[in-house]
Structure 1
Amino acid sequence: MLPSPLEFLVPLGALESVADVLPFAILAVVLVNVVTRLLAQRSFERAAAEGDDDEALSRFLPHEIVNGLLVLLSFAFMIVEPHGGMVLSVLVVGMVISDFFEYESRRVEARNDLEMDKPNSAIVASALVIAYAGYQALFFLVEPIWSSII
């Protein structure tokens, strides 16, 4: 049997060995993402109060690292669980895109001396990611009820 071309890029055997833990890892990283988003918002508010312009603001590195890790984990989950991984990946990429635009919004607010708003779209997007990651990771809790209905 010929190896899949993907096997040269991604160690499928190693990925399959952690497939059961992957949904829990994703859920944990999503929860860490919420904490880093809160810390990033505080950092933006502090920088805007201290600086005169939007030059004082910079991306919050821990939050960006967690975003990158979350994207990689969701793509890895897509290899193991194609349907659930695709849905999760779309939600995660949407959340990362909303984070990008929320940062730009904070810069506009700092530049125009406006009050810093909360990152509402990123909060909603992360709530969707938490809900779906929780569904994927904790499905075993509702599986008996789900199986009896469906």
Structure 2
Amino acid sequence: MDPLQFLVPLGWIETIGPIVPIGILVLVVANIGTRILENRRQAYQAKNDEPLTRHPLNTFTTMGIVTLGLLFTVYRPISGMIMMIAIFGLFVADVFEFEGRQVEADNGLEFEWPKATLGATGLTLIYAMYYALTPLYAPILDMIFA
């Protein structure tokens, strides 16, 4: 008996739960692309003395990753919490990286690649690949360790 079954109907989570890691993986890969777009856009804005803005696609993918991570935590609590550590690191790095870029733009410093967010995205990508691609490598591991 699930302690939350009377508070929140969780029957639907069993249906979509197995595809949530695939959704996280897709959004993490898309997030890497949107980070590149955001970096180019902010470099252009800083060069032309425009105020820096976040790229809407990057914001969408980051919020989508956080939302799906929380959903994955409801489906598989321990695996979801491990995944949420990386996702939380990605979210926090994204917030502070944007603030750092604003300081760089205000002081006229040269823009660098967002190393912290790309590192956090890479870690999240590794965890997402581990959970999403389990059906591909599980038979091989079963043959080795069976």
Corresponding residue of 1:44: 42
1:13 to 11, 14, 22: 11
1:10-64 Cα shifts (integer Å, max 9, x gaps): x52222111121111110011111111111111110100111xxx6111222211
Count, aligned residues = 144
Q: CA deviation at 1:5?
A: 4.7
* CA distance in structure 2 between the partners assigned to 1:21 and 1:65 by the alignment: 19
Are 2:35 and 1:64 equivalent residues in the alignment? no
Corresponding residue of 1:4: 5
Identity %: 33
Are 2:123 and 1:125 equivalent residues in the alignment? no
* CA distance in structure 1 between the partners assigned to 2:24 and 2:6 by the alignment: 26
What does 1:75-90 correspond to in 2, within 5 Å? 75-90=70-85
Distance 1:3 1:47, change over 3 A: closer
Corresponding residue of 1:149: 145
Q: What TM-score do you get using the length of structure 1 for normalisation?
A: 0.88
- Aligned-pair Cα RMSD in Å: 1.9
Distance 1:79 1:102, change over 3 A: same
Structure 1: runs of 5+ lacking an equivalent: none
1:58-77 Cα shifts (integer Å, max 9, x gaps): 12222112111110100000
1:83-133 Cα shifts (integer Å, max 9, x gaps): 111111111011010011111111111111111010001001000000000
SS of residue in 2 equivalent to 1:118: coil
SS of residue in 2 equivalent to 1:102: helix
